[in-house]
Structure formats: C-alpha cells, structure tokens
Chains A and B, each alone.
Chain A
Amino acid sequence: MDVQEKTYCRVRDLGLIAYERAQDDQKRHVDDVLAGGPQTILLCEHPAVITLGRLSDERHILFSQKYLEERGVPVHCVDRGGDVTLHAPGQLVVYPILRLAERGKDLHAYLRGLEQVAIDLLARFDIVADRFSGKTGVWIGPQKVASIGIGVRRWVSYHGLAINVNTELGLFDLIKPCGLAVSMTSVARHKKGNIDMGRVKQEFVDCFNRRFCFDV
C-alpha cells in the first residue's frame, strides 16, 4: 500500500459507546471524508452487542431473542460484509474511514492491510499472531483474536476490525463467530492478565499509521 505522499490521519477515541451512537458518528465521518475531510480512524468499545453482516445466517446466533434480551445483549443487522460477530467491553473496535481510491481500489489488499496492523500490534505485546489461509481475520495459533468486516461507499471505507484485548470470552458462546467453528481468544488470555486499553490504543494508532503510510 504505497502512497506517494504521507498525510495525517485523524484519530477519534469514542471510548465506551453504544453501538447505534457509534454508527451515527461513523456515518457522519464517512460523509466528511467524502466531502474532502481528513481520513479518520474511530476507536471505541461497545457494550455487549451482536451484529449480523449482510450475508449472515441467523442460525449462527445460538440463543433466542428473549434470552439475549434478558442477558442485555441486543442484535443489530448492519451494512458490513461478514457473518455474525459480537462486541463487548474490553474489545478494541476500530472503524477506519479511508479513501481506498488512493490505495489502488483493492478490497482484498485493504483487508490484508487491516490484518497486518493487528498482527503488528500483537507483536508489540510479544504475541505471535498470523492469518489463517482462506479466512479473513487474525489468529493466535488455532484461536481467533481479531475479526474484520468492512463496508465501502464511493471507495471510502467504513466498519473495520475488532480485536479482543480484555473481552469476556464466555460471551462468544452466544454465537458461532463469523459462522465458523472457531474458539476465540484475547490478548489478556495470552498475557495472563488484563492489558491497559490506553496503551493498546496508542500502539494500534502507531501500527496503523505505519502500515497505511500516514504520518506518525
């Protein structure tokens, strides 16, 4: 992803924010980037929520609507690729809003770029992570640590990736993540203790800027 001139990427940390509110913020930023505003990444965490991508199979939600309501886990259908996923506090969610027209108009190259940012980030925590042949996302050994699903409008990206940092992994028992028979893991599980999310965000932004050729 070579870009001729380095440019600044705006970073907005939304903190812990309801899923719907973050989507409104994301749409506003997409409109701003389409109007010529600076490319942006939104960082956040969501209260527990299940989201279904465009080609999701609802059978990949393993419990009834009533049970999920009792657990306080709403379900949203969203305009991203990918199957079912879950967000919860302790998971770093990143919505990069980038002009992919400046990066070769290649969705696969962009997805591989996002994976590489997560791999670079985990390396900074001395964790060896990798891709899994034929599947999108990032794995630590046989367990998945980061999920990716994007949307693109006039070659501006939205949605993005979710990295389990300190996520309560038991919540993933509610779904079949991405429709795969896969077990999920987190950075905290591998480091045997919770990780400072502030540091994770800082390292993420640095890895992201380097990978996507923004000023660091």
Chain B
Amino acid sequence: MFKIVAPELGEGIEKATVACWHKSVGERVSSEDDIAELVTDKATFNVPAGVSGTVKKICVAPGREIRIGDTLAVVEKSHD
C-alpha cells in the first residue's frame, strides 16, 4: 500500500483545503495522474498520485482542511 500525503507547498504554508477528488475508490491511477486538488488562499494545487495502482481509500472529504504531511489517500500499487 502507498500513502499519498499532502506535499510541501512552500515556506509558511502549513495547511490547505481539499477542493475536490479527481479519482474515486476502486479507480485505477497512473503515477502522473492528478488525484486531488488542494487549495490555499490564492492557489490551487493538483496532487499527483505518484504511483500506479488502484485507489483503496480516500481519507479526507472535499471541503476539509488538512495539514501538510497528512495522508490524503491510500493506493494499492500495481505490479505491471
């Protein structure tokens, strides 16, 4: 299993809000697919899956605030 965490977005940015999910549980993703969109006060940031596989769990609902480093989703890696 591979945890997708909220990435560092820059100095002084400790929190963001999950704007939306581009993928759902059970859906296949490739490493370069955007899986979620985070939003800060003046920026949106698309989070890449970073791994190919199947989305097993989405940990944060849209509209919820997260801290940098929080787990956003869990992906089961594919072996192909």
A contacts, CB < 8 Å to B: 53-55, 79-82, 104-111, 136, 148-154
Contact = CB atoms under 8 A, between A and B. Distances in A.
B76 interface: no
Contacts of B46: 151-154
B60 interface: no
B43 A81 contact: yes
Interface residues of B, number: 20
Contacts of B12: 108
Given A105-B9, A106-B11, A107-B42, 16 more contacts: A54-B19, A54-B37, A54-B39, A54-B44, A55-B41, A80-B43, A81-B39, A105-B8, A107-B13, A107-B43, A109-B11, A148-B42, A150-B44, A152-B45, A154-B32, A154-B34
A107 B44 CA distance: 10
A120 to B, nearest CB: 20
28 contacts: A54-B19, A54-B37, A55-B39, A79-B44, A80-B43, A81-B44, A82-B42, A105-B8, A105-B9, A105-B10, A106-B9, A106-B10, A106-B11, A107-B9, A107-B13, A107-B45, A108-B10, A108-B13, A109-B10, A111-B42, A111-B43, A148-B42, A149-B43, A150-B42, A150-B43, A152-B44, A152-B45, A154-B48
B72 to A, nearest CB: 16
Contacts of B11: 106, 108-109
A18 to B, nearest CB: 22
